[in-house]
Structure 1
Amino acid sequence: MSYPQHTGEMASHPEIAEMRERLERTASSGQAIAVEGLILLAGVYIAISPWVVHFTNEPNITVNNLVVGITVGLIGLALTLAPERMFRLAWVVAPLGLWLLLSPWVVTASHSARAGIVWNNCWVGGATIVLGLAAMGLTIGVTRRSGQR
């Protein structure tokens, strides 16, 4: 059974150019630039937080924060460098923030995580959730505005 190939039909659709223009305007707005930059900074802080808060003696949570921080930082960098291609990935930041919030109790071996680990991950996790929701809000705004016409 052969399926018809529909290559190029969406690229020539008249609303695609308008949607790209709206996305470009939103991505270059001051709000979007601030959110993208804050996501990048949050990712960098998450990655270095085990050394800043001095909980490198807990290897599991150290590796967890390093990996999550690098991931959030790369998403922030991608949103900054290529927002028109990456705006649909912005939703991933909020679940990563939720994971940071929960990880001290899930990842630590002793299940009696030090207060510094808990406070650090709760604050930075909450901030990451808020930034992820803000990035999603910008994305939803672009999608809704392009669907109204």
Structure 2
Amino acid sequence: MSYPQQSGGMSTHPEFAEMRDRLERTASSGQAIAVEGLVLLAGVYAAVSPWVVHFTNDSFITVNNLIVGIGIALIGLGLALAPERMFRVAWVLVPMGVWLLISPWVVTAGHSARAGIIWNNCWLGAITALLGLAAMGLTIGRTRRPTR
């Protein structure tokens, strides 16, 4: 018994085209553009925050913030340049934000972190996680248009 072969794979599936259209509408909305920009700014600030808050003499947390900040900024840049592809990976911002939130205690386990480091990373981590949730909500929260 042979089954009919479909050419084109998933790209010809009607729901795939609808999902692509929905992502394109989401990516071009004012809310999405604001989230993209804020994610990029949060990442850049996370990367330079050791020099802004003056905790560069603690090398472990400095390297941590630099690497995580560059990662967040790259996701923000990707959201701005290719939003139809990058909104699917926006969920990564949530664990990165949680990591920034807890990293002063995890990374500086041998000695206590200064209050400036803790305040900086807690605020930055919470904001990053919320921006990740907002980016996820932009794609998940959109209702489907009824088919005619």
TM-score in terms of structure 2 length: 0.90
- Given that residues 60 and 109 in structure 1 are in contact (C-alpha distance below 8 angstroms), is that contact kept between their aligned partners in structure 2? no
Q: Which residue of 1 aligns with 2:14?
A: 14
Q: 2:15 and 2:105 mapped to 1: Cα distance?
A: 48
Q: Which residue of 1 aligns with 2:110?
A: 110
Q: Which residue of 1 aligns with 2:60?
A: 60
Q: Which residue of 2 aligns with 1:145?
A: 144
Q: 1:9 and 1:105 mapped to 2: Cα distance?
A: 48
Q: What SS does the aligned partner of 1:113 have?
A: coil
Following TM superposition, by how much is the alpha carbon of 1:7 offset from its aligned partner in structure 2, in angstroms? 6.6
**Residue 123 of structure 1 pairs with residue 117 of structure 2:** no
CA-based RMSD of the aligned residues comes to 1.8
Following TM superposition, by how much is the alpha carbon of 1:13 offset from its aligned partner in structure 2, in angstroms? 1.2
Following TM superposition, by how much is the alpha carbon of 1:92 offset from its aligned partner in structure 2, in angstroms? 0.2
The number of equivalent residue pairs is: 143
Unaligned ranges ≥5, structure 2: none
> Within 5 A, what are the aligned runs for 1:26-65?
26-65=26-65
Following TM superposition, by how much is the alpha carbon of 1:110 offset from its aligned partner in structure 2, in angstroms? 3.5
Q: Percent identity at matched positions?
A: 74
Q: 1:6 and 1:73 mapped to 2: Cα distance?
A: 41
Unaligned ranges ≥5, structure 1: none
Task: Show CA shifts across 1:40-95 (max 9, x none).
Answer: 00000000000000000000000000000000000010011001111110000011
Q: What SS does the aligned partner of 2:9 have?
A: coil
Q: What SS does the aligned partner of 1:10 have?
A: helix
Q: Which residue of 2 aligns with 1:134?
A: 134
Q: Which residue of 2 aligns with 1:100?
A: 100
Q: Which residue of 2 aligns with 1:80?
A: 80
**Distance change >3 Å, CA 9–CA 103, structure 1 → 2:** same
